[in-house]
Amino acid sequence: MAAVKRIYSFGGGKAEGNRDMKDLLGGKGAGVAEMSNIGLLVPPGFTITTDVCVAFYKGGKKLPKDVLPGVEAALRKVEALTGKGFGSADDPLLVSVRSGARVSMPGMMDTVLNLGLNDRTVVGLAKRSQNERFAWDSYRRFCAMFGDVVLGMKPERKEDRDPFEVILERKKRAHGAKLDAELPVSALKELVVEFKAEVKRRKGIDFPDDPMQQLVAGIEAVFRSWDNERAIAYRRLNAIPAEWGTAVTVQAMVFGNMGEDSGTGVAFTRNPADGRNEFYGEFLVNAQGEDVVAGIRTPQKISELAARFPEIARQLEDARAKLERHYRDMQDIEFTIERGRLYLLQTRSGKRTGLAAVRIAVEMADARLISREEAVLRVDPAALNHLLRPIFDDAARLRAVDEGRLLARGLPAGPGAAAGRVVFFAEDAEAWKARGEQVVLARHETSPEDIRGMNAAQGFLTAFGGMTSHAALVARQMGKVAIVGCEALSFDYHARTMTVATARGPKVLREGDWISIDGTAGEVIEGSLATTPSEVMQVLIEKTREPSSAPVYQQFAKLLGWADRARRLKVRANADQPDQATVSVAFGAQGIGLCRTEHMFFGEGKIGPMREMIVAETLAERRAALAKLLPLQREDFAGIFRAMGGRPVTIRTIDPPLHEFLPQDPDGITELARATGKSEVHVRARIDELHEANPMLGHRGCRLGISYPEITEMQARAIFEAACEVAAEGLEVQPEVMIPLVGAKKELEHQAARVRAVAEAVFAERGARVRYTVGTMIEVPRGAVCAGPIAEVADFFSFGTNDLTQTTFGISRDDVGTVLQSYLENGIYEVDPFVTIDREGVGELMRLAVERGRRTKPNLKIGICGEHGGDPSSVEFCHQLGLDYVSCSPYRLPIARLAAAQAALREQAAAHPVKPARPAKANGRGGEKARATNRALAVPGVKPAKEPRKKRTRARPQARA
Ligand code: PEP
Ligand code: MG
């Protein structure tokens, strides 16, 4: 049997790998291979596969022995292509060692640069480059990086700086140097000695000088970094399975720090913040790549490159066009200029805000670079939230400017508006959030260690770094509001203060002070500013803006229009009030999937009669309370029917977990006593009597209606009277009455009979009929298992996956927090099953219910109305199960529409795999869909439907943060 290939070489105009091998080579490895294949100049190297990473962990975190000969052989090829020797004292080959997972995890794992340097090779490097300063500068950088990444030299306390930074700062002070570049060569040489001594002092080991030993240690360190704290946190946030592992790419170094004719940069082929079709990026002259990404020095704009390096700017523009044509997507590239020669180091699909994702997808489809189906697949459904998020109110902003509260401007890295109390440490952001505070995290710069705090904050603000710094990338990925490179800020972490250099002098902000950040305009404002709805919301919901003057809205509507054409699943909303129904229609609801009738009483002045009904002790008392509820419900139902304009409305009979509705506070008890004409003592005793140890498993759902059929009857009357009233106005109505928490056919028979009897009575009284149906929720395991007989009585099913998850797992929905945290931390669940359907358990019960229900009634309409209905992965699962619709909260409807379309397109692609080709006509018709979808499946950010998900489903409960 042929040995499994574990190392893939590239360079010299060809590669053993290609773009389709991300699973094995990681995004980076696949990208450099592909760029070599299409004739872009890439420094040669090789990629060690993700399989080796898996073997590394299985083998006790050691590089498998049989990998080493392959590494040596691949190294020989690089030597041949570069003409240099690894470890050569004459003309040394230096390499970078980089991580690269299947999907990009910006900055979460480690990198080592300039590997191969020691006291001998540095002399060869100095000689060959004829630049002693460069050679020693590279060497001191290598020592620091290797010390940090491979040898684990970290600051001792969080307030402390990097130990090598401290030595460097001391050295600069001693030489009166402001910049690193002002240090003399002698100082760089001293730094190498001092760095190594620091390693010896703190770690008790000699810094390794043998290049091969360095390389093995470097590769192992990068593999290890797959499991560092920040990578684990990032994986959890982005549902990346731990078993994927990272690849390692070892590549010949090219140097952007060889002098004033050298440089390095990163660029996006389109603007990643707003999606504009412009080359967007940054570069630094005489610097190494990490300087740009780490955001230590604020770089120059790519538009200024032509002035300095006109020929390079032209070549880069060509590469931009070539890569966009080839990948047919916005790319994020890294490049280095070494002595006037342009090298490309990386290309990958660029991270972008939701705003940019929609614009790029729509414009590329309009330009026929991609098909409309691909455009639909390109946008992560959750990213649509960016387009719905509030912005600062104009008047409030102007007032703040007049009052001198506009403190500073920075780069607008993550659009939207956020206000919060300022904190300076990521741990504080997490802790403050946990105690209910809204925070903005402000720092010199962020690092991957800060990831959890960044997630907890409303937004973040940094003093350093450009649009491609860590903070900016993470903001785009997480959809956070962010400003970076705000140079007016300086920090005193010990004093927990931030000083802003304003035109009126320095302004000191302390931890806990309120600030507002506008990630669209890049403005930092003192205090908490009022917000206003986004452009999409202004058009759709507020109706304060004309669509023709709202370009963002137009792109949003276009994309969702394409999605609607592609999807099979219908989308409905969970809405309990007429105004919510109106919002739902604006967001594209095709019906209401769940009207929780008990929620209709949450409103002002309505909870009283509901409580009276619950505490009633006799039938007469209950009827009296119900008589008060009837007109309230009827009015709301009529409002909902009118707002829904003939679309189906599923109304669920009352399902109040009693503890949510009974008063606990003295005022509430006094009020209830007054309303019922009973003593407070009596009311309190009745509340105690109704107390349940497990209210979620208690007297709720159809159980209540069975104990007190008059409640169901009142509700049915309200529904049918409202329906007749609206029908009499000439409007269409489609009521669907839904009975909750059914586990047995007889429960449904009991309740359905009451509903139908009331319907007939109302129709007889009104002399008119309306079409209606009676169905049930499937939300306890017994209901799923007994779906066959239940379907004999039900006109439809709707999965209540909140309760179905609760009862299948046996974990209380109300108390899940602590269990969940521990389970997520221990890797027992990958993600929260209350957020994403657990396909393996809950999902199997759903499958069973669909099969059994439809065996009884082949055309049984089936939907879902649990919270999962707005979660993209769960929507995909519902599509796969053959449900008719998903129902979710109104604001998640755009997400559900897009996710439903993506599920349909992926299914088509899986059924008709066609080799992707450039679309001849991007008109969204004909046999285009399958081709388009096949390609889009490979786009990061668009979750591959099939292979990773299925794998995880078998492995453990399926869920996503
Ligand atoms: C459910 O259980 O999924 C459901 C929709 O009902 P509720 O959340 O009201 O219990
Ligand atoms: Mg329920």
Q: What are the tens digits of pLDDT across the range 846-877?
A: 999 999 999 999 999 999 999 899 999 999 99
CB 791 within 8 A of CB 860: yes
Q: What is the pLDDT of residue 402?
A: 86
The sheet with strand 406-409 has its strands ordered as 406-409, 523-526, 514-518, 417-423, 439-443, 459-462, 481-484, 411-414
Q: What is the pLDDT of residues 131-144, one digit of tens each?
A: 999 999 999 999 99
Q: What is the pLDDT of residue 918?
A: 42
* DSSP E strand stretches across 131-262: 247-252
Give a yes or no: residue 547 inside a domain. no
Q: What is the pLDDT of residue 949?
A: 30
Q: Is the pLDDT score of 716 beyond 60?
A: yes
Give the helix/strand (H/E) hosting 296.
none
- Do 505 and 604 belong together in one domain? no
Please tell me the distance from the alpha carbon of residue 696 to that of residue 195, in angstroms, as a whole number: 62
Residues ≥6 apart with Cβ < 8 Å to 427: 158, 453
- Do 961 and 853 belong together in one domain? no
Q: Measuring CA to CA, which residue among 134, 135, 154 is closest to residue 144?
A: 154
Structure confidence at residue 292 as a pLDDT band (50, 70, 90): low
Give a yes or no: residue 826 inside a domain. no
Give a yes or no: residue 447 inside a domain. yes
- Do 582 and 465 belong together in one domain? no
Long-range contacts of 759-763 (CB under 8 A, 24+ apart): 759/716, 759/720, 761/717, 762/716, 762/717, 762/720, 762/721, 762/724, 763/720, 763/724
385 is in an annotated binding site: no
Average pLDDT over residues 660-671: 81
CB 629 within 8 A of CB 613: yes
CA of 782 to the centre of ligand 2 (A): 14
Long-range contacts of 945-954 (CB under 8 A, 24+ apart): 945/876, 945/902, 945/903, 945/906, 945/907, 945/910, 946/906, 946/910, 948/241, 948/244, 949/839, 949/873, 949/876, 951/241, 952/241, 952/830, 953/839, 953/840, 953/843, 954/840
Q: What is the pLDDT of residue 9?
A: 97
DSSP designation for 448: G
Structure confidence at residue 954 as a pLDDT band (50, 70, 90): very low
- Between 773 and 383, whose confidence is greater? 773
Whether 801 is in the pocket of ligand 1, judged by its Cβ within 6 Å, is yes
Q: What is the pLDDT of residue 154?
A: 82
Model-level pTM?
Answer: 0.78
* CA 75 vs CA 48, 110, 128, 212, 631: distances in Å: 12, 21, 20, 10, 82
Residues ≥6 apart with Cβ < 8 Å to 902: 376, 377, 381, 563, 872, 876, 942, 945
CA of 784 to the centre of ligand 2 (A): 14
Percent of the chain past pLDDT 70, that is, above it, reads: 91
Give a yes or no: residue 552 inside a domain. no
Average pLDDT over residues 20-48: 96
Nearest CA to ligand 1 atom 6: 800
Sign of CA dihedral 386, 389, 394, 397: negative
Q: What is the pLDDT of residue 956?
A: 25
- Do 745 and 599 belong together in one domain? yes
CB 517 within 8 A of CB 481: yes
User: Which atom of ligand 1 has the smallest separation from the CA of 801?
Assistant: 3
- What CATH number should be reported for the domain holding residue 509? 3.50.30.10
Average pLDDT over residues 797-821: 86
Residues ≥6 apart with Cβ < 8 Å to 437: 420, 421
Sign of CA dihedral 719, 724, 727, 733: positive
Whether 865 is in the pocket of ligand 1, judged by its Cβ within 6 Å, is yes
CA of 33 to the centre of ligand 1 (A): 50
Q: What is the pLDDT of residue 606?
A: 73
Please tell me the distance from the alpha carbon of residue 830 to that of residue 846, in angstroms, as a whole number: 21
Q: Is the pLDDT score of 952 beyond 70?
A: no
Please tell me the distance from the alpha carbon of residue 421 to that of residue 496, in angstroms, as a whole number: 13
Beta-bridged to residue 500, according to DSSP, are 489, 507
Whether 802 is in the pocket of ligand 1, judged by its Cβ within 6 Å, is yes
Q: Is the pLDDT score of 216 beyond 80?
A: yes
Q: Is the pLDDT score of 584 beyond 70?
A: yes
Give a yes or no: residue 490 inside a domain. yes
Average pLDDT over residues 590-605: 83
The sheet with strand 280-285 has its strands ordered as 300-301, 280-285, 263-268, 331-338, 341-349
Give a yes or no: residue 32 inside a domain. yes
Q: What is the pLDDT of residue 295?
A: 53
Give a yes or no: residue 612 inside a domain. yes
Please tell me the distance from the alpha carbon of residue 257 to that of residue 468, in angstroms, as a whole number: 19
CA of 804 to the centre of ligand 1 (A): 8
Please tell me the distance from the alpha carbon of residue 801 to that of residue 778, in angstroms, as a whole number: 8
- Between 160 and 943, whose confidence is greater? 160
- Do 526 and 642 belong together in one domain? no
The last residue of one of the domains, among 532, 559, 584, is 532
652 is in an annotated binding site: yes
Pairing of strands 391-392, 531-532: antiparallel
Give a yes or no: residue 514 inside a domain. yes
- Do 576 and 718 belong together in one domain? yes
Please tell me the distance from the alpha carbon of residue 782 to that of residue 187, in angstroms, as a whole number: 76
Burial class (CB in 10 A: 0-12, 13-18, 19+), 282: buried
Ligand nearest to the CA of residue 801, numbered in listed order: 1
- Do 873 and 924 belong together in one domain? no
* CA 921 vs CA 364, 452, 568, 933: distances in Å: 13, 44, 23, 15
677 is in an annotated binding site: no
- Among 668-672, 833-837, 918-922, top mean pLDDT goes to 833-837
800 is in an annotated binding site: yes
CB 556 within 8 A of CB 895: no
368 is in an annotated binding site: no
Q: Is the pLDDT score of 819 beyond 60?
A: yes
Helix pair angle (211-225, 50-58), 10° resolution: 90
- Do 58 and 157 belong together in one domain? yes
User: Which atom of ligand 1 has the smallest separation from the CA of 867?
Assistant: 3
Q: What is the pLDDT of residue 609?
A: 84
- Between 423 and 811, whose confidence is greater? 423
Catalytic residue among 724, 865, 878, 888: 865
Whether 145 is in the pocket of ligand 1, judged by its Cβ within 6 Å, is no
| Integer Rg of the chain from CA | 31
Structure confidence at residue 939 as a pLDDT band (50, 70, 90): very low
Nearest CA to ligand 1 atom 9: 596
- Do 515 and 605 belong together in one domain? no
Percent of the chain past pLDDT 90, that is, above it, reads: 66
Q: What is the pLDDT of residue 290?
A: 65
CA of 777 to the centre of ligand 1 (A): 9
Structure confidence at residue 688 as a pLDDT band (50, 70, 90): confident
Known catalytic membership, residue 470 = yes
Please tell me the distance from the alpha carbon of residue 32 to that of residue 331, in angstroms, as a whole number: 13
CA of 609 to the centre of ligand 1 (A): 23
CB 648 within 8 A of CB 592: yes
Which residues constitute the domain of residue 866? 569-657+705-810+839-896
Of 114-123, 199-208, 275-284, 406-415, give the lowest mean pLDDT range. 406-415
The last residue of one of the domains, among 280, 303, 326, is 303
Catalytic residue among 470, 599, 868, 879: 470
- Do 249 and 204 belong together in one domain? yes
CA of 288 to the centre of ligand 2 (A): 57
Q: How many domains does the chain have?
A: 4
Q: What is the pLDDT of residue 159?
A: 63
- Do 527 and 640 belong together in one domain? no
Q: What is the pLDDT of residue 401?
A: 87
CB 113 within 8 A of CB 288: yes
Please tell me the distance from the alpha carbon of residue 716 to that of residue 651, in angstroms, as a whole number: 9
Whether 384 is in the pocket of ligand 1, judged by its Cβ within 6 Å, is no
- What CATH number should be reported for the domain holding residue 92? 3.30.1490.20
Average pLDDT over residues 49-70: 94
Nearest CA to ligand 1 atom 4: 800
Q: Is the pLDDT score of 20 beyond 80?
A: yes
Q: What is the pLDDT of residues 90-120, one digit of tens each?
A: 999 999 999 999 988 877 899 999 999 999 9
Q: Is the pLDDT score of 74 beyond 80?
A: yes
User: Rounded to a whole number, what is the largest CA-CA distance in the chain?
Assistant: 103
Tokens standing for residue 5: 């290939």
Q: What is the pLDDT of residue 935?
A: 41
Q: What is the pLDDT of residue 950?
A: 30
Single-letter residue type at 839: R
596 is in an annotated binding site: yes
Sign of CA dihedral 684, 625, 866, 373: negative
Ligand nearest to the CA of residue 657, numbered in listed order: 1
- What CATH number should be reported for the domain holding residue 606? 3.20.20.60
17 is in an annotated binding site: no
Ligand nearest to the CA of residue 864, numbered in listed order: 1
Query: Mutation test of ligand 1: which of 572, 599, 653, 655 has the most ligand atoms closer than 8 Å to its C-beta?
Result: 655
Q: What is the pLDDT of residue 829?
A: 86
Of 43-52, 169-178, 366-375, 826-835, give the lowest mean pLDDT range. 826-835
Q: What is the pLDDT of residues 517-576, one digit of tens each?
A: 998 788 999 999 988 888 999 999 889 999 999 999 999 999 999 999 999 999 999 998
Tokens standing for residue 515: 């600030």
Q: What is the pLDDT of residues 375-402, one digit of tens each?
A: 999 999 988 988 888 888 777 888 898 8
Q: Is the pLDDT score of 625 beyond 60?
A: yes
Q: What is the pLDDT of residue 291?
A: 65
User: Which atom of ligand 1 has the smallest separation from the CA of 779?
Assistant: 2
The last residue of one of the domains, among 896, 912, 932, is 896
- Do 925 and 887 belong together in one domain? no
- Among 42-51, 811-820, 885-894, 914-923, top mean pLDDT goes to 42-51
Q: What is the pLDDT of residues 232-263, one digit of tens each?
A: 888 887 888 889 999 999 999 999 988 889 99
Structure confidence at residue 602 as a pLDDT band (50, 70, 90): low
Q: What is the pLDDT of residues 440-465, one digit of tens each?
A: 999 988 876 787 888 899 999 998 87
Ligand nearest to the CA of residue 874, numbered in listed order: 1
Average pLDDT over residues 695-700: 86
Residues ≥6 apart with Cβ < 8 Å to 307: none
